[in-house]
Structure 1
Amino acid sequence: MSPIPRLQNQGGPAFLSYGFRPFFLLGSIFGAAAIMAWLPEFFGEISIPTAFAPRDWHVHEMLFGFLPAVVTGFLLTAIPNWTGRLPLQGRPLLVLVLAWAAGRVAVSTSAWTSWAFAAAVDLSFLGLVAAAAAREVIAGKNWRNLRVVAIVVLLFAGNAAFHWEAHAYGSADYGLRTGISAAVLLIALIGGRIVPSFTRNWLARRGPGRLPASFGRFDAVSLAGAVLALAAWTVRPDSAVSGILLAAAGLLQAARLARWAGDRTWADRLVVVLHVAYAFIPLGFLLMAASAFGKLPASAGVHAWTVGAVGLMTMAVMSRASLGHTGRALVASAPVQAVYALIVAAGVARICAAVRPDAAVALLHVAGIAWALAFLGFSVSYWKVFTGPRFGR
C-alpha cells in the first residue's frame, strides 16, 4: 500500500480537505434523520411527499442515500492510498456533496415534481462517484481495485432499476435485491481486506500467537459462492436452488471469518467491532436460506445484512478511518463503544421484529431509536474530527 499522499493546500475549510469528512458526517446525520422520519411515516403519523411507496422510500434512502455517502467517503480516502495520487478536495469534493444532497431532496419531494426528475438527479451522484473513482484507479494503474468501481456501478444499476420498478409497478423488488447484493459484496470484498489486515497489524504488536490467514484460494471460493448465491437470490429469492446456494455461502463466509483470529481481539474495540460487523454477513445468508425454504420471513435476513452488517461495518470503518486520517490515536472512546452497542442492539431487535410479529411494534421502535441514537451520537462525538484541523499539522 502506498503512503498517504500529502494534501494540497486547498485554501478552504478543513471540512472539504478530504472526502471522509463531509460524507461520513452528513451520511451519519442523514442515516439517523431518515429513520426518525421513517418510524412515524410507517405508523401513519406523517406523510413524506415522495412518489415512492412508504416502504420503498425507506429502503431506497438507506440503500441508495445513506450507504453511498459512506461508501464515497471511504473510496475518496482509500483510493489515494491505493494509487499514490492526491485526494479529491475543495470545489470538486463540494460538487459531489451537493449532488448527493440534491438527490436526497429530489427523492423526498418527487411527488411534487416527477419520478423521472428525481431519478435523474439521484442517479447523477453515483454516476459521478463511479467516474471519479474509475479515473483515479486507471490513472494510478491500480487495476485490481477496478473491482470496487464495478460494485459502485452495480449500486448505480440497482438504483436505476429501483426507480423504474417503483414507477412502473408500484413497488421495487429487483432493484431492492440488487442494491442489497451490492452492499453485501462490497463488505465481503473490502471487509475481507481490512478486517484481517487490521487484525494482523494489531496482533503482531501483541507478541506470538495465531494470526489471521492470508488471502488465498479459500477466500476466492467464498467470494465466488457469495456472488452466485446473491445472483440467484436477486432473480429467484424463493427457489430451492437459491436456498442451497445461500446456505452454502453462509457457511463459507462463517468459515472465512473464523480464519481471521477475531477471538484474540477483544482488548481492542476498534478491531473486534470489525469482526462482529462481518459476522452479520454469514448470519444474513443463513437467515435468507431459511426464508427461501419458507422457514422465516425474508425481512430477517435482509435486516441482518442491512442493519447489522451495513450499519455496524460502516460505523466501524468511519470511526477508525476518521481517527487515523486526522492524526488521532486509534482508540475507541466510551461514547463510540456505546454507539457500537446501540447498532448491535438495533440489528438484533430488527431481526427479532421479523420473526416475532406479536412484538413487532415494540421491537421496531427499539431498533429505530437505537439506530438513530447511534448515528447522532457518532456525529456529535466526531464533530471536531470532521470539521477541525488534522493533528500534527
Structure 2
Amino acid sequence: MSQTSAEQMRAWKGPAPFSFGFRPFFLFAAVWAVVSMLLWLAALGGAVDLPTRFDSISWHAHEFLFGYLGAVLAGFLLTAVPNWTGRLPIVGLRLAGLFALWVIGRFAILFSATLPIWLAPIVDLSLSVVLGVVILREIVAGKNWRNLIVLALLAVFTLANAIFHYEALSGGYAAQGVGLRLGVATAIIMIAVIGGRIVPSFTRNWLVRQHNPARPAPPMQRFDKAVLLLSLIGLGLWTLRPFDLLTAIALVALGVLHFVRLIRWQGHQTFGEPLVWVLHASYLLIPLGALAIGVDRILGSPNTAGAQHLWMAGAIGTMTLSVMTRATLGHTGQELRANRMTVLVYLCIFGSVFTRLLTSVWPEMIHISGCLWLVAFAGFVWAYGPALMRPKTVDGA
C-alpha cells in the first residue's frame, strides 16, 4: 500500500457508516432480512406478485443465502482481513462502492423480470467477485497464506450463486437445486472453520475472566481437522447426491462428530453470558441439521425442507446474528455484555427456527416463524443501528 493511500485511509473523516466494513453490511443485512421476509410473507399470502424471474420460493431462498448472507460475509471479511494481515481496512468511497454493488444486486434480483435476462445475474455476482479480488490482494500483500482457505470458500460460494442463477433461468426449481445446496454446504463449512476458531477462543476468554478453571479444547487440533475434512466429503455428497443412502449415513456421522466437537468447547460452562452461549447454541444447529437431514433421507420423511432450515435459518441465521451483535459491541467501543434487547433478539431467532420445523404438521406456524424472524432482525436494527451509524468514541474491550 502506498503512503498516500495509507494516509488517506487514516484520515477518513466521512460518514461513519463507511469507516469500517462491518458497519453498512451488518446493518443493512439485518434491514434486508426484515424487508425480504415481509415481501416473502406477502407473496406467500397472495398479496403481492414479486416482479422477479425467480419463483417466489427460489427468490426467498436466494435472498437469504446470497443476499443476506452475502452482506454478512462481506462485512465480516472486510473487518477480519485487516486483523489477519496487519493492513489498514477498506474505508470510504471504496467501501461505499462495494456496498452499492450489494444494494444494486438486491434491486436487480427483485425486479429481474423487467430487466434483460443476463443483467441481474451479472449485477448480483459482481460483489462476490470484486470482494474476492480485494481480499486476495490483501492476503498476498500481508503474506497471510493460512487464510487463503476463506478466499477459496468465497470462490465456491460465488460459483454456487452462479449455478443457482443458471438453474432458475433454465426453468428449474432452483430452491431444490445444486446451486442452493452448494451454497448452504459452503456456508456450513465456513461456520465450521471460522466458528472453530472464535467459539473456543471467546469461551476461553470468558472462563478466564470468571476464574473458572474449565478450558475448551484448543482450536484446530487433529480431531477438528479430521471433522472438517469429513465435512467436505459429506457435504459434497449431499450437494451432488442428496437422496443417496450413503449421503444420509455420512450426514448422520457428521452430526455425531460435530456434536462431539462442540462438547469439547465447554459450552455448558457459559450460561452466565448470552454473548458466549449463543455461539455454542448456534453451532449446535450444525449437528442437529445434519442429523435431521440424514434421518429424513433414511426414513423417507416428507419434511425435508424443515430439516434443511436447521442449517439455513438455523445455523446460518443464528450464527451470523450472534457474530453481528458481538462484533458490533466490540468494534463500536461498547461493553461486551448482552442487554435485554439482545437476549430477546436471540430468543426470537431461535424461536423462528424451531417454529419453522412445525410447519409440516401445522402449516400456519410459518407465519409465526416469520414474525419471530422479523422481531429478531428488527430488534437488531433497533438496538445496534445507532451504534453502527455513529463514530466510535471509545476503545472497545
The one-letter code matched in structure 2 to 1:392 is: V
8 Å contact 1:23–1:69 — kept in the other structure? yes
Structure 1 residue ranges (4+ consecutive) displaced by more than 3 angstroms after TM superposition: none
8 Å CA contact retained: 1:28, 1:66: yes
Gaps of 5+ in 1: none
The amino acid that maps onto 2:50 is: I
Alignment-derived partner of residue 303 in structure 2 = 297
2:117 & 2:378 partners in 1: Cα distance?
30
1:82 alignment counterpart: 84
C-alpha change, 1:114 and 1:291, in structure 2 (3 Å) is farther
Identity of aligned residues (%): 42
1:275 maps to a residue whose letter is H
Taking only aligned residues, the RMSD between alpha carbons, in angstroms, comes to 1.4
Answering whether residue 337 of structure 2 is matched by residue 331 of structure 1, we say yes
Does the 8 Å CA contact 1:203/1:265 hold for their aligned counterparts?
Answer: yes
Q: How many angstroms apart in 2 are the aligned matches of 1:352 and 1:191?
A: 28
2:183 is aligned, of 166, 179, 183, to 179
Q: Deviations over 1:344-391 (max 9, x none)?
A: 00000112224x2xx11x210011110111101111111221011112
Deviation by residue 1:93-126 (Cα, 9 ceiling, x = unmatched): 0000000001000000010013311000001011
Give the match's secondary structure for 2:388: helix
Q: Work out whether residues 232 and 242 of structure 1, in 8 Å CA contact, stay in contact via their aligned partners in 2.
A: yes
Superposition deviation, residue 170 in structure 1: 2.9
- 2:259 maps to 1:254: yes
Tell me the number of residue pairs that the alignment of Structure 1 and Structure 2 aligns. 385
SS of alignment partner, residue 364 of structure 1: helix
Q: Distance in 1 between matches of 2:71 and 2:343?
A: 22
Amino acid at match of 1:217: R
Describe the SS at the equivalent of 1:115.
Answer: coil
Q: Which residue of 2 aligns with 1:19?
A: 21
Corresponding residue for residue 243 of structure 1: 248
- Work out the CA distance in 2 between the residues paired with 1:248 and 1:144: 28
Aligned counterpart in structure 2 of residue 98 of structure 1, from 92, 97, 100: 100
* Aligned pairs (5 A) from 1:13-162: 13-162=15-164
Distance 2:153 2:302 in 1: 29
CA distance 1:320–1:140, shift in 2 (3 Å):
same
| Alignment correspondent of 2:3 | none
Deviation per CA, 1:283-331, whole angstroms, max 9, x where unpaired?
Answer: 0000110122213522122100111111111111001011111111101
Q: CA deviation at 1:208?
A: 4.2
Q: Please give the per-residue CA displacement for 1:67-87, whole angstroms capped at 9, x wherever unaligned.
A: 010111111111111110000
Corresponding position: 1:225 with 2:227: no
Taking structure 2 as the reference length, what is the TM-score of the superposition?
0.95
Q: Partners of 2:117 and 2:68 in 1: how far apart? A: 20
Query: Mind listing any 5+ residue stretches in structure 2 that lack a counterpart?
Result: 1-5
Amino acid across the alignment from 1:189: V
Question: How far apart in 1 are the matches of 2:78 and 2:352?
Answer: 28
Amino acid at match of 1:125: L
User: Which moved further from structure 2: 13-22 or 201-210?
Assistant: 201-210
- From the superposition, tell whether residues 296 and 202 of structure 1 become closer, same or farther in structure 2 (CA, over 3 Å): farther
* Corresponding residue for residue 292 of structure 2: 287
Residues 1:196 and 2:195 are matched in the alignment: no
Match of 1:314 among 309, 313, 320: 320
2:266 aligned with 1:264: no
Higher mean Cα deviation, 90-99 or 285-294? Answer: 285-294
Tell me the CA shift for residue 90 of structure 1. Answer: 0.2
Q: Are the aligned partners of 1:238 and 1:291 in contact in 2 as well (CA < 8 Å)?
A: no
User: Which is further off, 47-56 or 297-306?
Assistant: 297-306
Amino acid at match of 1:345: G
Larger displacement relative to structure 2 (163-172 or 340-349)? 163-172
Partners of 1:135 and 1:297 lie apart in 2 by 44
**Distance verdict in 2 for CA 1:197–1:296, change over 3 Å:** farther
- CA distance in structure 2 between the aligned counterparts of 1:365 and 1:335, rounded to whole angstroms: 22
> Which deviates the most, 294-303 or 245-254?
294-303
Q: Distance in 2 between matches of 1:239 and 1:297?
A: 17
Q: Is contact 1:52–1:166 with CA below 8 Å preserved after alignment? A: yes
* Equivalent pair of 1:287/1:296 in contact (CA under 8 Å): no
Which residue number in structure 1 is paired with residue 377 of structure 2?
Answer: 375
For 1:27, give the aligned amino acid.
A
Distance 1:369 1:128 in 2: 34
For the residue of structure 2 that corresponds to 1:169, the secondary structure is coil
Aligned equivalents of 2:170, 2:252: Cα separation in 1: 33
Q: Which amino acid aligns with 1:213?
A: A
* AA of the residue aligned to 2:18: L
